Structure 1
Amino acid sequence: MAVMKFGGTSVGTASAMRQVIAIIAEKRKSETPLVVLSACSGITNKLVKIADTAGAGRLEEALQMAGEVRQFHLDLVGELVGNEALRLELAAKIDAYVTRLERLTEGIEIVGELSERSRDRICSFGELLSTTVFAAALNEAGTHCEWLDIRQVMITDERFGFARPIEAICQAKTEDIIRPKLDSCVVVVTQGYIGATVAGKTTTLGRGGSDLSAALFGAWLHTDSIEIWTDVDGVMTCDPRMVPEARSIRVMTFSEAAELAYLGAKVLHPDTIAPAVKKNIPVYVLNTWHPESKGTLITDDPALLAGKSHGGLVKSIAVRKGQAILNIRSNRMFGRHGFMNELFEVFNRFAVSVEMISSSEVSVSLTVDDAVLDEPFIQALKALGDVEIEHKVATVSVVGDNLRLSKGVAGRIFSSLRNVNLRMISQGASEINVGVVVEENDVPAAVSALHCEFFAESQCAGIFEKPAGS
């Protein structure tokens, strides 16, 4: 038994859906999967815009965008479904969903207020529409499946916009509702990202929530694997848009994958790792457009790692742009205790997350998301000392489990970056990443230099492979 999660680009067009249908049909020959889908690519962003536009009182504009959502999915049906009666049935379902969307939009405009609860309800329509169309197309193509409204199973708390499941209830409902269908060899098609409170109010799990949904169901069902299907050949040694020679990583550990996710890699949502680690379920990151590619296996299972070359010094290079450096200097730090407590109390008060930190006797340097900086926060920091801000910087981190056991890594990193101005240096507490901060304009040069240093041809054999089609 496997959980297969397909992201927005994998179901964003009729041709993409046909590709996914073929992948599921092939999987069905050997096992019965639970299929978890995201909204079609771009639809969630449009739904968020509809909510914001209605909240701003621009009803006509919001309703126009709702009409575009309706037409997009009707066009999908027109391309995917041949049976006329089924087309009419799907058109009626799409119209019913979008009519509800329009009524909700009108209600927001009338009251003049957009609540997080209303936003969640609006955003939920993306997954409901994509899965409705896909399940019908999958059935017509010859793979019998059942569509399931996941809000019957994914019962969450009431933190609208970032809800978390009530695991005892979810696990019981998974056993009662989903497992019997899979045990009867019926493919189940359902939604990621969304859930419902005990009272039945629609919630969302936050961006990246479809990955979390898939991982949770994998854990609750004790599946053999969790497959995350996307539009790249697994986890890459770096962003191939920066370095065309980037390779697909064949195998990596959970700790490496989690570290990469937190440091800016875009393939996996950090929360995806936790349920898989808890049950030691292998996670495969695969390419919808190149299903023959081996992708990336993420596991700590010695049996799965046995015989595989997974000992590369550096596994990948992660980049997080849109950062700012805060340099705080104060003589109060010298030889005294308590200053760091005061400093981080300010960060806690303004809910600002620190990405990287470096300190000396009289100064602290930290990186934060540039977008969170505002005047009240800066003034609160200035009460503690002199504050200097450097905008438009990025963190560049090299990640690998073997870094902690290897000598000379820092020397190789700094030698390769000799032509790049380093604004800050830090080693992660986990000891499996070393990070530097550079100006955003220097990111391509920094990544290219590091990739050249650590991923030479002789080091890639057996550990990395070229992306399919390269």
Structure 2
Amino acid sequence: MAALPVSLISNKDCFPWVVQKFGGTSVGKFLENITGTIVKSHLETHRVALVCSARSGKTKAEGTTNRLFKASEEALKHGSKEYVRIVDEIYQDHVKASREIINNNEIILNELEKHLFQDCAKLKRFLEAAQLIDEISPRLKDIIIGVGEKLSCRIITAALQDKGINAEFINLENIIEQEFDANNLNQKFYDYLAKRIAEVVSKCGNRIPVVTGYFGIVPGSILNSVGRGYTDLCAALLAVGLRAKELQIWKEVDGIYTADPRKVPKARLLPIITPEEASELTYYGAEVIHPYTMEQVIRSNIPIRIKNVMNPIGEGTIIFPDAPKKSKNGFSKNGYHERHPTAVTIKNNIIVLNIHSNRKIMSHGFFAQIFAALDTYGIVVDLISTSEVHVSMALGAEIIEKDLQKALNELEKLGTVDVLEGMAILSLVGKQMKNMVGIAGKMFTTLAEANVNIEMISQGASEINISCVIDEFNADKALNVIHEHLLPIFTYQIPPDLSLPDQIVPQNPIALFP
């Protein structure tokens, strides 16, 4: 009996689901890797579902989503037709990509180009209507931005079909059928979404679902309620709904490192990391995955694997919670040592505010008024260090200058305010280092020996994250000395196909310091 084609055996009911999420840069630059290698390599043993972001260009500013934002802005300018040129440019970019990846079937290519044209023509009509009424509502902006995922998913679906894989384009823009309170989108809403997305995808049968990361008209707007990371959340919810064996997040790096390998030549790939550690690294400079997205998957006991679209055979980094039991040799069952930091990261372009009270108000009123002033102008504090009459705060670079100045005017009523610019936050992260006595002291001693001055210190009671603010000029030097002196080397045996956390065991139970 002749072997069945890949497209017919790929999604048998007996196979476990794997959800693969591809980011904008991957879709923009590595279509052949995705459709020709990555998807095919999983089809013999898994049912595969794809979730795709909008295509990105050489830079994020050139990406489809940013162009769509720009088109929305131009549509609100009286008499401007720049939005037409932007949409035409988006269309041509996608047509060009389509012709480069689809080589075998002209019918598939022609059908794809017809759909791309229709999507862009509809987009122009939306923008034209917005210009006529001089308004773009949050709901309309969601629809406009969601076009990016539709275009990229159409290309990937067609490219898979061109390679003989029976794929199906899945548009999620109308899946929400119940009423929800926009001011209270709790876990019940996300559980509903996971179920609905899985229901739609399951109707594909043996076809490979290629799912738009944009999942429709969310109460209160998807951009306002979820943010631009909605494609990661969509993939997470799909994995939960399908009870997937694994959620794979495909990027352009091999996984999560002990430090930024572009700045620290000796940085090492982490085979496994906890969600708590990944969340801390995301917040303090490393682009991993949004903490809330991780929570949706991890609470269902589904591992997340970060993989490299340029190196598909690499094992990547697994994000998974600690196993509850610990072995006699000092390692937890998932391969973690109990007493070491996991990674070190840096966040640049930090502004430090030092506020010294004028003593006209009690300390509790002093703090309350500080945070009220910051909240009024939407300023988020990354780190804080306090005494009864003094507060030091580290603020991220995304602050709008005029908002900061307004906040400073309010804060100066409370006391003396000093502003330091050109600073950086250095963070040492590790869930298991909380039992390592003196780790904070060793961190600060190491910096002192390297002549790195510390402006402020912040440390939580759990010691999962010890952070300090230093001059940005010393950021790379500090990153390297901390990595060299505080991050031990471990060797692990990680199976390429994770099924149980306790499969991950250390080959060598000894920590080797560089």
Please report the TM-score for the alignment, with normalisation by the length of structure 1.
0.89
Paired position in structure 1 for 2:246:
225
SS of the residue aligned with 2:47?
coil
Aligned CA distance change for structure 1 residues 175 and 133 (closer, same or farther; 3 Å): closer
Provide, for residues 420-461 of structure 1, a one-character-per-residue CA deviation record: whole Å limited to 9, x for no partner.
2221111135420100112222221221221222346xx243
For residues 152 and 312 of structure 1, what CA distance do their matches in structure 2 show? 49
Matching of residue 30 in structure 1 with residue 45 in structure 2? yes
For residues 356 and 307 of structure 1, what CA distance do their matches in structure 2 show? 31
Paired position in structure 1 for 2:420:
390
For residues 223 and 153 of structure 2, what CA distance do their matches in structure 1 show? 17
CA RMSD of aligned residues (A): 2.8
Which of residues 395, 407, 422 in structure 1 aligns to 2:454? 422
Aligned CA distance change for structure 1 residues 287 and 172 (closer, same or farther; 3 Å): closer
* CA-CA distance at 1:30 after TM superposition: 0.5
Paired positions, count: 456
Paired position in structure 1 for 2:144:
122
Aligned CA distance change for structure 1 residues 393 and 159 (closer, same or farther; 3 Å): farther
Matching of residue 95 in structure 1 with residue 117 in structure 2? yes
Paired position in structure 2 for 1:187:
208
SS of the residue aligned with 1:248?
coil
Paired position in structure 2 for 1:467:
none
Aligned CA distance change for structure 1 residues 119 and 231 (closer, same or farther; 3 Å): same
For residues 113 and 97 of structure 1, what CA distance do their matches in structure 2 show? 21
Aligned CA distance change for structure 1 residues 27 and 108 (closer, same or farther; 3 Å): same
Provide, for residues 32-78 of structure 1, a one-character-per-residue CA deviation record: whole Å limited to 9, x for no partner.
12210111112112222222232344733222221110111101111
Contact 1:327 / 1:363 at 8 angstroms: preserved in 2? yes
Q: Unaligned regions of 5+ residues in structure 1, if any? A: 465-470
SS of the residue aligned with 2:237?
helix
For residues 262 and 134 of structure 1, what CA distance do their matches in structure 2 show? 31
SS of the residue aligned with 2:378?
coil
For residues 363 and 307 of structure 1, what CA distance do their matches in structure 2 show? 43
Which of residues 120, 123, 126 in structure 2 aligns to 1:104? 126
For residues 334 and 402 of structure 1, what CA distance do their matches in structure 2 show? 41
Code of the residue aligned with 1:111 in structure 2: it is: I
Code of the residue aligned with 1:133 in structure 2: it is: I
Aligned CA distance change for structure 1 residues 303 and 26 (closer, same or farther; 3 Å): farther
* CA-CA distance at 1:154 after TM superposition: 5.6
Contact 2:355 / 2:390 at 8 angstroms: preserved in 1? yes
* CA-CA distance at 1:301 after TM superposition: 5.7
Contact 1:249 / 1:463 at 8 angstroms: preserved in 2? no
Kindly indicate which of the two structures has a greater share of residues assigned to helix. 1
Matching of residue 2 in structure 1 with residue 18 in structure 2? yes
For residues 190 and 202 of structure 1, what CA distance do their matches in structure 2 show? 17
Aligned CA distance change for structure 1 residues 190 and 31 (closer, same or farther; 3 Å): same
Q: Unaligned regions of 5+ residues in structure 2, if any? A: 1-16, 57-62, 326-331, 495-514
Code of the residue aligned with 2:464 in structure 1: it is: I
Aligned CA distance change for structure 1 residues 404 and 202 (closer, same or farther; 3 Å): closer
* CA-CA distance at 1:211 after TM superposition: 1.3
Contact 2:246 / 2:303 at 8 angstroms: preserved in 1? yes
Contact 2:174 / 2:215 at 8 angstroms: preserved in 1? no
Aligned CA distance change for structure 1 residues 453 and 375 (closer, same or farther; 3 Å): same
Please report the TM-score for the alignment, with normalisation by the length of structure 2.
0.82
Paired position in structure 2 for 1:403:
433
| Correspondences of 1:136-147 after superposition (within 5 Å) | 136-147=158-169
Which of residues 445, 456, 462 in structure 1 aligns to 2:477? 445
Paired position in structure 2 for 1:167:
190
Contact 1:195 / 1:203 at 8 angstroms: preserved in 2? no
Paired position in structure 1 for 2:12:
none
Paired position in structure 2 for 1:306:
333
Greater shift in the superposed pair: 394-403 or 427-436: 427-436
For residues 310 and 284 of structure 1, what CA distance do their matches in structure 2 show? 20
Paired position in structure 1 for 2:154:
132
Contact 1:356 / 1:366 at 8 angstroms: preserved in 2? yes
Greater shift in the superposed pair: 109-118 or 25-34: 109-118
- Percent identical among aligned pairs is 31
Which of residues 358, 363, 388 in structure 1 aligns to 2:390? 363
* CA-CA distance at 1:195 after TM superposition: 2.1
Provide, for residues 164-215 of structure 1, a one-character-per-residue CA deviation record: whole Å limited to 9, x for no partner.
993354244235322343xx3332111114422479x986842222111111
Provide, for residues 14-43 of structure 1, a one-character-per-residue CA deviation record: whole Å limited to 9, x for no partner.
xx1111112111111111122101111121
For residues 244 and 5 of structure 1, what CA distance do their matches in structure 2 show? 29
Matching of residue 235 in structure 1 with residue 256 in structure 2? yes
Paired position in structure 2 for 1:468:
none
| Correspondences of 1:64-75 after superposition (within 5 Å) | 64-75=85-96
